[in-house]
Amino acid sequence: MKSGMKKKERRKKEMRFRKNIFWLILLIILLWLGLAGMIYFIEPSTFLAIPVFFLAFFIACLFTLSLLFSNTRRGVLASCGILAFLILRYLGVGNILNLLLISSIVIATEYYFVR
């Protein structure tokens, strides 16, 4: 009797998760389309265009990577690492050494949180 109840509860939880996944995927698609529209239609010299681009990129990357990793913390860490490298590229100092250093920091931080 109890196992039947557990199966029903598990099934309800799985159905709620599927509904959330659909809306999350829809949100991710809209975020990436909005970012692509921003890249195509807005000139970089426009007031606050660059900071808004970085914010929109971070949010789109965050949701996408959180879904792919199935872990919000890993999505935040990876998004912060990607955004840090993207900002360094914008400033003209993004090279392979900085990419390796940022990747190492992200991996070490994840290792710290796991332990």
The domain spans of the chain are 2-114
pLDDT of residue 15: 66
| Measured distance between the N- and C-terminal CA atoms of the chain, rounded to whole angstroms | 39
Residue 77: other Cβ atoms inside 10 A: 19
The helix (H) or strand (E) run that includes residue 59 is: helix 49-69
Predicted structure pTM score: 0.82
- For 23-82, how does the pLDDT look when each residue is reduced to its tens digit (9 = 90+)? 899 999 999 999 999 999 999 999 999 999 999 999 999 999 999 999 999 999 999 999
